[in-house]
Amino acid sequence: MVTSSVWTDYNNDGWTDLIVVGEWTPIKFYKNINGKFSEDTSLIDVDSTRGWWYDIVAEDFDKDGDMDLVIGNLGNNYKYQASGDETFDIFYNDFDQNNTGDIVLSYYNDGEQYPLRGRQCSSEQIPAIKMKFQDYDAFS
């Protein structure tokens, strides 16, 4: 899903180009060639920029006459790191059988899969959790 975009002349050819970022997407540059847009993959290795991008801003921060980009993402310092082997998973099911769908997020830590949310937050989504796990020790 696209989360942010910016119109800027990133290649200084006099035409306003488009840069788009989003969730689980690479940074995408679209070059404006005489009013028609074409994806430009010559600037960066697209696969290496795949991420969870939140925002993009174009500004001449260093006052050198060209536009600089600041692109904000989830970052490598986020406590949940997904990889090809240890994914960040989303489960959808009617876990408590109350005719409404429930969502459970999970992450891996050293090969073990854990629910993202603790007992309190999980039981707000699925009230049966409090009945099944009487305390935090049982939930863990």
pLDDT in tens, 90-131: 899 898 888 888 889 998 888 899 898 888 988 888 888 888
Rounded distance between C-alpha atoms, residue 120 and residue 140, angstroms: 12
Find out whether 71 and 49 touch, Cβ atoms under 8 Å: no
- Winning range, highest mean pLDDT, from 33-42, 61-70, 80-89, 119-128: 33-42
Residues in a beta bridge with 104:
91
pLDDT in tens, 14-52: 999 999 999 989 999 999 999 999 999 998 887 888 888
Q: Which residue has the tokens 């059988």?
A: 97
Give me the pLDDT at residue 46, please. 78
